A = this chain, B = another copy of it.
Amino acid sequence: MTGDIELLTIFVLSVFVGFEVISKVSPILHTPLMSGANAIHGVILVGAIVVAGQAEGALQIGLALIAVVLATINMVGGFVVTDRMLEMFRPSDRRRAGGSADEQTQLPTPTSRDDR
């Protein structure tokens, strides 16, 4: 029972951390943040691996392996797609080819673009 209370404490503290860490986010980051959080819960892969490694019989093994496949998709795909999103947010750092001929006409101080 003491173990359960400690897990409950961990749960409560995690709720506070989750709430506080995301206090204020600009709307521009809503999608990447959602996507990154989504990738993080892909860590269920750890659970899937453990369960698959202990599974017995076709049903358990089959279901557990499906869980491994799905969790891997969630985790790996999630981090990759988040990275792609965020990459698009800083074109001024990375001088992309798409900038084309207009690039010279850009007016403002480049540093101000970092605020985005």
Contacts and interface: CB of A to CB of B under 8 A. Distances in A.
Chain A at the B interface: SS class = helix
Interface string A19-32: 01101000000000
A13 B3 contact: no
A23 B7 CA distance: 26
Contact of A17 (B3, B6, B17, B23): B17
Interface residues of A, number: 13
A10 interface: yes
A17 B13 contact: yes
Top 7 nearest A-B pairs (CB, nearest first) are A20-B20, A13-B13, A6-B6, A16-B17, A9-B10, A17-B17, A13-B17
Interface of A: 2-3, 6-7, 9-10, 13-14, 16-17, 20-21, 23
